[in-house]
Chains A and B, each alone.
Chain A
Amino acid sequence: MNTAAAFSDFADVQGLLRFGYKHHVESAFALLRVRNRAAARAWLASAPVGSAEKGAPPPVVLQVAFGAEGLRELGVPDAVCASFAPEFLAGLGTDANRARRLGDLGVNDPSRWQWGGPGAEQVPHVLVMVYALPGRLESCCRELESHWGIAFELMRWLSTTDMGGVEPFGFADGLSQPEIDWAREIPPEDHDRLTYGNLSCLGEFVLGYPNEYGRYTARPLLEPVGAAAHLPRAEDAPDRADLGRNGSYLVLRTLRQDVPGFWHYVDAQSGGDATQRKQLAEAMVGRRMDGQALLPPDDAPLAGVGTDAASRAKNGFTFDADPAGVRCPVGAHIRRANPRNPDLPAGTSGLVSRAIRMLGFDAGALHADAVASVRFHRVLRRGREYGVRMSVSEALSGRAPQVETGLHFICLCADLARQFEFVQGAWIAGTKFAALPHEADPLLGNRLPAPDEPDTARFTMPRAGCPSRVVDGMPPFIEVTGGAYFFLPGVRALRYFATV
């Protein structure tokens, strides 16, 4: 197969897929329920949605996404709704089996959520995300509210706080992101990748294009008649209108962070020593607080990582040189969220060596093979912090501000099951990740005893020349307080929802 032409339809893509809107430091997310269908459709038909085209950014950018129930409320036919992903249709907080799989139990149980939990009235229909240059947010939100009037009922605004690229625990955030192959340089073929790279096929994040398997992820394909006639056609089925094309699934989870709790725990484990405290926290995260990696960059540059020194230092590393986790613990947050592995454990090149590893006869490779094929499990993160930023000393002072603080975790992916749910369920919440017993993610784990695993509250730091250091009795540091799955449509698909 030949490489397709570079992607150019940016006008039909909502900007969030391409931009983080870092200059738009003010943002707020409206959770809406449709009150009046006609009025809601009227607003959506002309909502000034920011596209992914480059150019001087407007002072305020809107992005609009839909819950499954929202599509039905807007009058999208059932047959069309039913052809979206099953995970999207079932919802994030309304299925006990999903909650168990994702670790949303105990204090994270959806029945306790402030929004998005079980009960139809808890689930937002429409998500409107507002990104604004400094000083522009407030007036824009008031103006939107007046526009919405009878169209929507405002469930709540999720407010955010600009913490300068640092998440509430105090760590630089958003450093590791997959690079989307907008140029479509990766041929749409299915073969093993023997080195880890950071460049992801367009179809991993944007529906309607080949994914890492060289295939088109399932999405609604319609008869190109009526309102659907204005939709783009499907690349893989040119006589069908592609409702998914240029869209993506969006996961929004509100994670309340217990900043004092985190630093008090780390402090107690370090005997009050500031240096050790910082080291332990950095081992748990897997990066220094300023974002520096715990490992030097690999000798060979990684695809999808800039070749300048700063990019390489930030993201040009793998864990190949540290299989035991002496420098970056195997269970560290960033290593769970992205183990940076290729499809096959490293080894010498050559067909025989490859066959040996493929058949599982290389004991060393097998040991490193509990987790593999990371390229199928990437997500594009677009989260924003909320609450107040506090320093470590404030957090430890006992006078920490009593303001709910945390992260509105947002990620985009084309396949909720294979990307977000896999990472969250198998790697973050999983209590046997990479054969590590007794621990889940050191930041996000719920620490609950599983029915057959009484202790999940440890964290192991392998050391050279002496036994591993293990800290235990870790309390939960985050609490999920809300969440939902959304579909972030392409611009033409958005207008279709307003007119069908």
Chain B
Amino acid sequence: MPMFSAAGPSSVLLWGVVIAVALVSIFLTASVIRGRGARWIIVLLRSLLWFGALAVLARLSWVETQREAIRLPLAMVLDRSASMALPTEKGRSRWDEVKQVMAEPEFLQRLQKDFDLQFFSLAEKLTPVSRDSLLKSGIPAGEGTRIREGLEGLDPALPWAGIVLLSDGAETTPSTGVPRAPVVALYPTTHKAFVDAAILRAEAPEIAYLRTPISIDAEIEAKGVPREHLSVRLESRGRILAQSEIPVSSWVDARAKVHLSFVPEKVGPLPLSVEITRFPGEVTYQNNRRWLGLDILRDRVRVLFVAGRPSWDERFLRGYLHENPNIDLVSFFILRSPSDDPEAPQEALSLIPFPYDELFTRELKGFDLVIFQNFDYRTYFSPFYLQNLRSYVENGGSFLAIGGDRAFGKGGYRGTPLEEILPVRLRDDRDEISVAVIRVRMASGGARHPILSGDVSASVISSLPPIWGFHRTAGLEVDAVSLLETGDRDASPIVAVRNVGQGRSAAILTDSLWRWAFSADVATTRVYRALFDGLYRWMVDDPSFAHIQVKAPSKVSLKEPFSVQVVLTKSDYTPFPGVTAVLSPPEIRLGPTGVEGTAIGSVTAEAEGMLLLRAVVPKWESQGYAAETLVRVGEISEELLRRDLDVPFLERLASETEGSVGPISAWKDLSFSPIYRRVTYRTTGRAAHPLWDRSSLLILLLVAAIIDFALRRRQGAA
């Protein structure tokens, strides 16, 4: 920018005095001139003369600055996601349009002249590339479009002039980020004759129960196809579970929601696929099928809870069981014994008869778990019913006995069929019950047992409040595992478990575990819940507690090998080395297992979908050494579900960054001014042109002085 500079005296006071003298002189000279026009001419001439005098005095110069524009970096971002391979109405792909404009000399040359162009490929992430390699690359195949995230990834240290984005705007992973530089967005020609039917969404409930109807919700989009002929099918391993036509009235804006229901008949992982009709000429058939995986849980667990008397131990256990939505609880609490006199007629009481005959004969098999808490059976029924209970456990049922003054030996169970299935041998002598207030510790068997895991560590157990009394026993059964024991030298079992035939039994040899449920310390109450969570899940044969576990990634890629691990444990959950398992499909032998009970194999999935992997130990399959898991092979790209141009998205992006947006075909009409606004300049040189020593200035001043003299003389003032 041109400007004046002075090299004469620098005293502000001196200059002030000189300028004041000049102004006074001009005023006095002009004041004696009569005509208004002549007066103004005199003022002008005198001002010029004074300016000339001052220019000479100050040695005034005319300074010219030379500068040039700085070439800021400009990001050229080209969308390489799979949706860019879709055809436009002109029969070419969206990518073809991008390549065409990039090949136009005028387009790039203009930008290249003013900016330092840097090229990027954009799909699931932003990748710097050379222009040539970008334009020579094949059909776009990126499995996602993360525009905002990608643009946010531009080097923040560089002073970007802007971003030229060539994209269809079909972002698959929405984000809220705003790019740091103006975005000039160019999009391909809008497609008007789309032919495609797609399953946009297929969802299954998070929890699915055996023999309980399950609804799979799907959203279908159909463009350019005869919708009245579109049907939806739900399959599992080649078997059709449900099928539906979509009524014409269900379609809104080319979309429809459909619900497919079925009733699972088997517990465990279940692969599912949802498929829609394939129509000729669809842009892709990959989005006509979706895969789902469900883990079918057993139906609600039925628990029979018999308590010999109301107590705090019963109250807190009932509270725990009642809060579990998976438990169907049937309780019988003995509120009054035959010797208690309620001092009121029967009609005034809410008590009901104890239907023991019904419960321990016909109904028994219907329960998954039976709990006796401080319950003395002798008042109510004969040992015959205990025989039923033993058979129930041996055939797959679960039984939990909890202590108190009417439990174990005190409840008359010593020598009964029930004792035969308990984890401990009973005493019934005077010293059976200890009233000692004593701390509990984790037994050696507890450390490796899955019942005590997570929050329940040995140190946590040792820090819990002491229990108020416990049952002494005649020892553990040989195949039982003590999980918790008293912290004294006797190490008397407090919680013990045992596998019995097909079933399981457990014993809690105290009636004061409620003190862990009711505590000012939240960590203590968590231990109570964790202990009973683990105990309950182990007793009802939760699959996560199985002695064979098959572990594989939940998602793998097609035809890429992945590793599968099979872990085997013995009945006491110690590692099971030296065992060979069979994994299928494809059938491969794994093992023998190492000292950790683990064997690892490699599997390659040959087809997309949900792969059901099954691991078995053939000789012990009937004893439960079989497990399954689901692996998702490949996954439909979101690109194939977001096929439409999203111009509004690009408009928002341009608006937020004060950029501009328009179609590729009309790029010449598009304003690139947002990126030029950021252009800055740097000074390359300065040229000073002195005014005070120019002869033209002296001549000009001389002429002015002559005119001034002549004019004043004519006015009679000279």
B is bound to A: no
Which residues of chain A have a CB within 8 Å of any CB of chain B?
none
